[in-house]
Amino acid sequence: MNADLSTQSILKTWLRVLAVNTLLGWIPALLAVMFTKTSWPALRETALTGALYSNLIGIPCWLILPGLLERAAGWSWRARSAATIGVLAGCAIAGCAAANLILVAAGVVPIGQFFKVMGWTLRFCLLITVTYGLLTSAMSTLEYKLRQKEASEAEARKTAAEARFASLESRVHPHFLFNTLNSISALVREDPAMAEQMIDRLSALLRFSLDSELAGLVPLREELRIVQDYLEIERVRFGDRLRFVIETGAGTEGRGVPPLSVQTLVENSVKYAVGTKREGAEIHVRTWLEGDRLKVEVSDDGPGFDPALRKPGHGLDLLERRLTALFGPAGTLSARQADGRMFVEMLVA
């Protein structure tokens, strides 16, 4: 009976890994549907090719990284990051080469075009593999450290709060990453120079995410810098439809906020305002002190949404739970409509 359960568990794990890898590999096909007119045969070939690349890269990463992260738990942040990047890059290169060889053998890629195709696909494979792998590794490292803390009875209550926050935080990063990658990927063929510039912005976002992996709070000035980078990336996708203003009140820049909290509010406006109106929308970010508490307000002139209908486990719901985990009753999130604008306000101690 135990053997059957073990076999089923292993099978479920493999199926989950294959499913995640395949979904990642379908990103180019999804982008083709969103931004180009693509025939069904071409779309099918893109999806199958993407799944081939993703699985040949993702499976070795899945087999190697857990053991590496466990051994590197006591290493410095720099050493652990360097080792992780090395493994991810190595798997990306080997998997990309193997996928191209299979495509050559299948007659999809002419043998004379192997190195040309290898050079183009390797850049994209490295970008997705290293970016997604680092975020996943950071979250796995965080979860490992939290499990270690749970072993200490003296820190039991503190560990429980950190574990709750880590669970919420780990669900924010992948969603944020995929939205950012979608914007960058749209430029890879149309404007490589702009795509490179956007990759630099993504690097800043990723560095911020990694630096704050164990931080309960970050200075508001750093959070707003990430918001600026995020909006510039999204403006590549929306053009003049996305307009924004960031207004910082006196004495607020040094106050602490949860990582990616203001970005979540801004992303909500991009989704419900800019993305739903043909003419786009204006997003206004304001911060000020209300007594001894920090208030962050993100408003837009879009159609708005009903706060009562927000989905559990998404966006604003996750942020509200993070605020409760960090500040208790002193951390609140509210939404309202007034004067043709939608306002979402975050208040923290």
Position 152 scores a pLDDT of 45
Q: What number of CA atoms fall less than 13 Å from residue 131's CA on the CB side?
A: 26
Position 163 scores a pLDDT of 42
Task: For residue 72, give every residue at least 6 positions away whose Cβ sits within 8 Å of its Cβ, in sequence order, or none.
Answer: 79, 80, 83, 84
Instruction: Give the domain ranges of the chain.
Output: 12-151, 179-349
Measure the CA angle with vertex 290, ends 289 and 293; round to 5°: 75
* Cα 101 from Cα 95, distance rounded (Å): 10
Backbone angles phi, psi at 108, to 5 degrees: -75, -40
Position 287 scores a pLDDT of 96
Backbone angles phi, psi at 337, to 5 degrees: -115, 135
pLDDT in tens, the chain (349 residues): 445 546 777 778 778 777 777 777 777 666 656 666 767 777 777 778 888 888 888 888 888 877 887 787 678 878 888 888 888 889 889 988 998 899 888 888 888 888 888 888 888 888 888 887 777 777 766 666 666 655 544 444 444 344 444 444 444 455 556 666 776 776 676 777 777 777 777 777 667 666 655 556 889 998 998 888 888 888 877 888 999 999 999 999 999 998 888 988 998 898 889 888 888 899 999 999 998 899 999 999 988 887 766 666 567 887 888 888 788 888 999 999 988 899 999 999 8
Position 300 scores a pLDDT of 93
Q: Is residue 3 helix, strand or coil?
A: helix
Position 154 scores a pLDDT of 42
Position 151 scores a pLDDT of 52
Position 298 scores a pLDDT of 95
Position 285 scores a pLDDT of 96
For tokens 């786009």, the residue is 280
Structural fold of domain 179-349:
Heat Shock Protein 90 (3.30.565)
Position 247 scores a pLDDT of 95
pTM of the predicted structure, to 2 decimals: 0.49
